[in-house]
Amino acid sequence: MSTTIESSPELVELGKFFKIAGQRFNAGQAAPEMFSATIDATWHALAQNPKAHREFTITHAGQELSHTEWAGHGHIAWVAAYEKEYGPLPEIWFTSADGTVNTDALAQYRETGIVVAEWDCGPKPGPGDGDDMVPEKTTR
């Protein structure tokens, strides 16, 4: 099975997020909050291929990471580290899975440099147990 994956703006941002995650874990800091639905959707798609996911996280974070469910709301603590490394967060971080940009949150970030958001997952060091990376499919 090939582990080659197509690059996209979402995947590039996921790689940056994983790099920040690796730095935070190495410094003994808390996991970064995944507040972007569109980037999280890319993460879930990548997780469909465990070998590619493992290689991608090791390449970007310097270690294997897995996806874990945890929810919260508040200040997104890792934004300053991202800005130091890459500059301001691009619009894609404020885009829903259906492509809608949260213009209010984006404007607030651009005016204040602060992101306040909800999240429902994040990375954790090490391999997952298989069910923590890919959400169960539900029918509606």
Number of domains in the chain: 1
pLDDT along the chain (140 residues), means of 10: 68 98 96 96 94 96 95 96 98 94 97 96 82 37
Per-residue pLDDT, 133: 42
Longest dimension (CA), the chain: 46
| Domain contains 13 | no
* Domain with 69 in it: 21-125
User: Are 35 and 117 spatial neighbours (Cβ–Cβ below 8 Å)?
Assistant: yes
Whether residue 133 is contained in a domain is answered as: no
- 6 within domain boundaries: no
Report the DSSP pairing between strands 116-125 and 65-75. Answer: antiparallel
Confidence (pLDDT) at 129: 53
Picking from 136, 127, 137, 133, the residue whose alpha carbon sits closest to that of residue 46 is: 133
Strands (E), the chain: 65-75, 116-125
Other Cβ atoms within 10 Å of 22 Cβ, number: 20
